[in-house]
Structure 1
Amino acid sequence: MTHDHDLELRPTAAQTEAALNPPSRRPTTAPQGGASRHVMTGRNGGDLVVETLAGLGATTVFGLPGQHALGMFDALRRSDLRYIGLRVENNAGFAADAYGRITGEAAPLLLSTGPGALTSLAALQEAAAASAPVLAISSQVPTPGLGGGRHGYLHELPDQSASFRGVVKSVHTVRTASQIPSAIAAAWKSALTVPHGPVWVEIPQDVLLAETVLPVVTAMDATPDELPPRPELTALAAHLLSGAERPAIIAGGGVVRSDASGKLRQLAERIQAPVVTTPGGKGAFPWTHPLSLQSWIEDRHTTDFLEDADVLLVVGSGLGELSSNYHTFKPRGRVIQVEADLGKLESNHPGIGIHADARLALQALLETVEEREDDTAPARVRELLERVRARIDGQDLALEQQVLTAVRRALPTGSPSFWDMTILAYWAWSAFDAMGPNRLHSAQGAGGLGYGFPAALGAAVADPTRPVLAVSGDGGALYSIAELATARQYDLDVTWLIVDDGGYGILREYMTDAFGEPTATELTRPDYVALAESFGVPGVRTTPETLEEDLTKSLSTPGPSVVVLPAVLRMFAPTHLG
């Protein structure tokens, strides 16, 4: 649900003019050539922005400057905030998204008006779909241009906030300097209240530039609200799970975001319930655990297994397209759904909906559920995984499995990986052991291209103690190639694996299957190794046989690097068909 916090106090035109050019900021004469320039002195609205962010606990901001936002960016000089500047606003949004996922903090994203703001929309859609806490702060045209006017300001939109209202959790429009701290604090709280998500704050240019007499912002209270479950619902759920004959659990991204994987494991072991993780829930349950169905949720055998459960607990998932095996999943037993996003409760399947944070709900279940004895559960899990393996092995997909295995062996256990929408990522959703929660991330929430590399950069900023892997196809790589400059500028420890198959590989497969031949999927692309080296980033061209060695070397060498794998990979056969 979107909430508007549109504070209606409007300065007069005279106040606006005075704010843009106060007496203390009269033009001063430049020392050379007699040219004049405007020199801003003292604190302004931009300082209130950065002071509020620091008071809330922020240490790092992402973004791009722009004409209307200069007051905000200039204030960064007078703060201790670390600024990471990317080359495209959408990529800055992806970097902030990953920073929020890794740290669990709200990630500030500073943007300019109009085109700069709009360019971030796809990244904010991904953050919303994946519940990543991004705090986007954008400039606006001067206050006389607010309210849908046609004043002819550069970058002016009739209603900028309307472009974001259907994407972000909440919209906050500021009209005076004194509103800045409270508006940003409210947005911060919104971003970190479950379900996490992106929020939008916009501040007019004149408010950012106007000198302020307000004292320095020192500390802000924006403690997010908790979302505990209703006890009568968890009592009923615990009763059903305790008495079930064939319980099963689907664990989604909500388990990862609420840091509830330990509680999930305790519950599964107590009631002997097999667990499958969704693409967003990768790593929420140990891959090799006797009760682990791993992540083959897009497999008909797994779908049959889950449909056969007499009580199915769904935690932190809305059972959307991917998690329901493309809406072919038809549960026959009782469904218990724990979900922080109210709109997702029973949105795809009827059941007992528990509106709650996953960690708090699992804790409540642990306090009331009775232990179940079931010696057959591990055997049923082994049998299912053997059937899945046999089906994959019968499809002549040795190359794809070889490549994915090489990536897993090369990637250090504790390192996170960020995957673009590419065929290898589709494999990773099902077949890659994340080796822990919050370590495998992809753009499967909204499904846009270009996520992997800029997101990996944001993760490297969040935790510089370990290398980060990004995986893209050549099509997705072209969306974010400019960020090689960002990686080099900040010396970020990211290795970028680009699987070059000469086009949009997954779309090529889809079109060939549907129409007999592909259209508009083939790409002229650069020499990625030479291009990386032109940015001062080491690059290497590899083969499936040398991939593990080359990736290992790149990941163990500090700083950015690019590994290019020319290969045409195929998807496994549609797993939602009987």
Structure 2
Amino acid sequence: MTHDHDLVLRPSAAQTEAALNPPPGRNGGDLVVETLCGLGATTVFGLPGQHALGMFDALRRSSLRYIGLRVENNAGFAADAYGRITGEAAPLLLSTGPGALTSLAALQEAAAASAPVLAISSQIPTAGLGGGRHGYLHELPDQQASFRGVVKSVHTVRTQSQIPSAIAAAWESALTAPHGPVWVEIPQDVLLAETHLPQVTAIDATPEDVVPRPELTALAAHLLSSAARPAIIAGGGVVRSDASGKLRSLAEKLNAPVVTTFGGKGAFPWTHPLSLQSWLEDQHTTDFLEDADVLLVVGSGLGELSSNYHTFKPRGRVVQIEADLGKLESNHPAIGIHADARLALSALLETVEDRPDPTAADRVRTLLDRVGERIAAQELTLEQDVLASVRRALPATSPSFWDMTILAYWAWSAFDPRGKNTMHSAQGAGGLGYGFPAALGAAAADPTRPVLAVSGDGGALYSIAELATARQYDLNVTWLIVDDGGYGILREYMTDAFGQATATELTRPDYVALAESFGVPGIRTTPETLEEDLAKALASPGPSVVLLPAVLRMFAPTHLG
């Protein structure tokens, strides 16, 4: 009897002919780029380096588009955003030692945010491997060890024949829920050596489905259907699994109010009658969620920010759907369902019963009114006006990328993303410098929409070199820099804690003149003219910088007012 897979494994005459006569002039780097093309990659990010030159030489013989940034960490942020926008694994090509290590903070953010990044690094020649110090440039005693605690999986190559399988395994790992960054390393001599192996023409790396156990979804559906006050917390897992439509259907069927975490922005429509929006740093919201008799948590580990700094103590039953097994019940006892959010929500939708509740929308409106009153009592008109101006200026379908800055902290709670997978920030790991390079990656992923980046002046200094990248590739990114003279949020934290701030004040360049020196248009704006200036910049093709000198303050996160 002949099985289907027997037919798949039998090469055609053309494939046999091609395998027996590979094109000349190829090296190990060609096997890397051929594998990436075979997996469906179209764009790669990175920086060349001495040991990685075999990979970069091979790029010119491939159809891959290369976006080269000026700092490896920024290249990692760009790949992170490309992965978030496309849902594809974003290749990140790096050199050995310092080049590789410089990407670590970006890979930590990708891991925290479940962004699929496929980092491929060179390594010293194979003759130098084995634990001793051989004096090679860029050598680390154990390069992999620096990444094992950050990425989802580590894949090593020591011969050319291992390259396609290692990259395919890494690709599959990156795209299996929860998505995340992965690491492949290949020695310099393996990349440089001529290869006589056949071209990589087709390769299978289908991600594994993380399927919920049916007895658990049956129990969860029963609890939710019979609940008196159900509520839902929607995290980044809903966005990554493209499950926002299923979440909305479930919420409407159950009449369950929904709050989105900062990583889950856009998972539920902001103005929906059941939307609690994202006011997690608020005691009223915390009280509301604690009062739920059944709380469904989807795609969130209920970490520090999502739990109002661990003050949240649920009193009812908790059902937690989470693809990351280590996050199940890590902060609160729950009925833990290890599954991809989309698959678990699909199972619940098939099982839950309609739960009429004429009071749900009223309770949501009452909560949002209380939150609004609390914020209004703190006299933070400037901050609210600036955020509203940004929202009005930004086209509804445009993505935005926010650095760790006061305006971003406001946006986590108060910004309407107006769509799924459109608002992204560095709140996963919390490193500075994310906003602008990430926006460049998003613009590379989809050049049809202008992209907004938002930074403070402190975070902007991490990313200034990428103005050259924006100009070189003519990427459609407008960079809003809020200049308050230093690390504004740290200044506020230290003043509150110690009465005065230390090490927070910064000498800054003239950002407008600096942008123009890169050939990027720049403008200095005011809170009153921000909307008009930002809208004009976003409507103009190519990169631009809008500088807003302003000292913004944070709202008190839990003060009842």
Q: What range is the shorter-chain TM-score in?
A: over 0.9
Check conservation: 1:242, 1:369, Cα contact below 8 A. yes
* Aligned equivalent of 1:111: 94
The code of the aligned residue for 1:183 comes to A
Give the distance between the partners of 2:44 and 2:132, measured in 1 at CA.
31
* Aligned equivalent of 1:507: 490
Matching of residues 85-484 of structure 1 within 5 Å: 85-484=68-467
The code of the aligned residue for 1:99 comes to Y
* Aligned equivalent of 2:535: 552
Check conservation: 1:98, 1:456, Cα contact below 8 A. yes
| Count of aligned pairs | 538
Give the distance between the partners of 1:145 and 1:136, measured in 2 at CA.
22
Deviation, structure 1 residue 145: 1.5
* Aligned equivalent of 1:29: none
Give the distance between the partners of 1:94 and 1:373, measured in 2 at CA.
44
Structure 1 residue runs of 4+, over 4 Å off? none
Check conservation: 1:460, 1:467, Cα contact below 8 A. yes
Check conservation: 2:374, 2:560, Cα contact below 8 A. no
1:132 is paired with a residue whose SS is coil
Give the distance between the partners of 2:112 and 2:520, measured in 1 at CA.
32
**Per-residue CA distance 1:433-480 (angstroms, 9 max, x = gap):** 000110000000000000000000000000000000000000000000
**Per-residue CA distance 1:319-359 (angstroms, 9 max, x = gap):** 00000000000000000000000000000000100000000
Give the distance between the partners of 1:299 and 1:337, measured in 2 at CA.
22
1:276 is paired with a residue whose SS is strand
* Aligned equivalent of 1:569: 552
1:293 is paired with a residue whose SS is strand
The code of the aligned residue for 1:553 comes to K
Give the distance between the partners of 1:91 and 1:146, measured in 2 at CA.
29
Distance 1:245 1:46, change over 3 A: same
Deviation, structure 1 residue 576: 6.8
Check conservation: 1:453, 1:472, Cα contact below 8 A. yes
Check conservation: 1:326, 1:576, Cα contact below 8 A. no
Deviation, structure 1 residue 530: 0.2
Check conservation: 1:135, 1:188, Cα contact below 8 A. yes
Give the distance between the partners of 2:265 and 2:314, measured in 1 at CA.
22
The code of the aligned residue for 1:228 comes to V
TM-score, reference length from structure 2 = 0.95
Give the distance between the partners of 1:103 and 1:411, measured in 2 at CA.
20
Check conservation: 1:297, 1:323, Cα contact below 8 A. yes
Give the distance between the partners of 1:232 and 1:502, measured in 2 at CA.
56
Give the distance between the partners of 1:146 and 1:259, measured in 2 at CA.
42
Give the distance between the partners of 1:70 and 1:147, measured in 2 at CA.
23
The code of the aligned residue for 1:409 comes to R
**Per-residue CA distance 1:213-256 (angstroms, 9 max, x = gap):** 10000011000000110000000000000100000000000000
**Per-residue CA distance 1:151-176 (angstroms, 9 max, x = gap):** 10000000000000000000011000
Check conservation: 2:118, 2:170, Cα contact below 8 A. yes
Structure 1, unpaired ranges of 5+: 1-40
Deviation, structure 1 residue 512: 0.3
The code of the aligned residue for 2:96 comes to T
Give the distance between the partners of 1:362 and 1:574, measured in 2 at CA.
31
Deviation, structure 1 residue 188: 0.3
1:564 is paired with a residue whose SS is strand
Give the distance between the partners of 2:174 and 2:128, measured in 1 at CA.
28
The code of the aligned residue for 1:561 comes to S
**Per-residue CA distance 1:295-332 (angstroms, 9 max, x = gap):** 00111000000000000000000000000000000000
* Aligned equivalent of 1:73: 56
Deviation, structure 1 residue 149: 1.8
- Cα RMSD of the aligned pairs, angstroms, is 0.8
Q: Equivalent pairs: percent with the same residue?
A: 88
Deviation, structure 1 residue 147: 2.3
Deviation, structure 1 residue 577: 7.3
Check conservation: 1:328, 1:576, Cα contact below 8 A. no
1:479 is paired with a residue whose SS is coil
Deviation, structure 1 residue 385: 0.3
Give the distance between the partners of 1:415 and 1:479, measured in 2 at CA.
24
1:280 is paired with a residue whose SS is coil
**Per-residue CA distance 1:395-451 (angstroms, 9 max, x = gap):** 010000000000000000000000000000000000000001100000000000000
Distance 1:224 1:445, change over 3 A: same
Check conservation: 1:62, 1:92, Cα contact below 8 A. yes
Mean alpha-carbon deviation: is it higher for 344-353 or for 139-148?
Answer: 139-148
The code of the aligned residue for 1:513 comes to D
Give the distance between the partners of 1:574 and 1:466, measured in 2 at CA.
34
User: Which of the numbers 533, 550, 560 marks the counterpart of 2:516?
Assistant: 533
Check conservation: 1:418, 1:441, Cα contact below 8 A. yes
The code of the aligned residue for 1:566 comes to P
1:279 is paired with a residue whose SS is coil
2:505 is paired with a residue whose SS is coil
**Per-residue CA distance 1:508-529 (angstroms, 9 max, x = gap):** 0000000000000000000000
The code of the aligned residue for 2:360 comes to A
Give the distance between the partners of 1:285 and 1:83, measured in 2 at CA.
35
Are residue 83 (structure 1) and residue 66 (structure 2) matched? yes
TM-score, reference length from structure 1 = 0.93
Deviation, structure 1 residue 146: 1.5
Check conservation: 1:255, 1:316, Cα contact below 8 A. yes
Check conservation: 1:189, 1:223, Cα contact below 8 A. yes
The code of the aligned residue for 1:105 comes to E
Give the distance between the partners of 2:522 and 2:80, measured in 1 at CA.
26
Structure 2, unpaired ranges of 5+: 1-23
Give the distance between the partners of 1:554 and 1:271, measured in 2 at CA.
43
Give the distance between the partners of 1:162 and 1:209, measured in 2 at CA.
24
Matching of residues 40-59 of structure 1 within 5 Å: 42-59=25-42
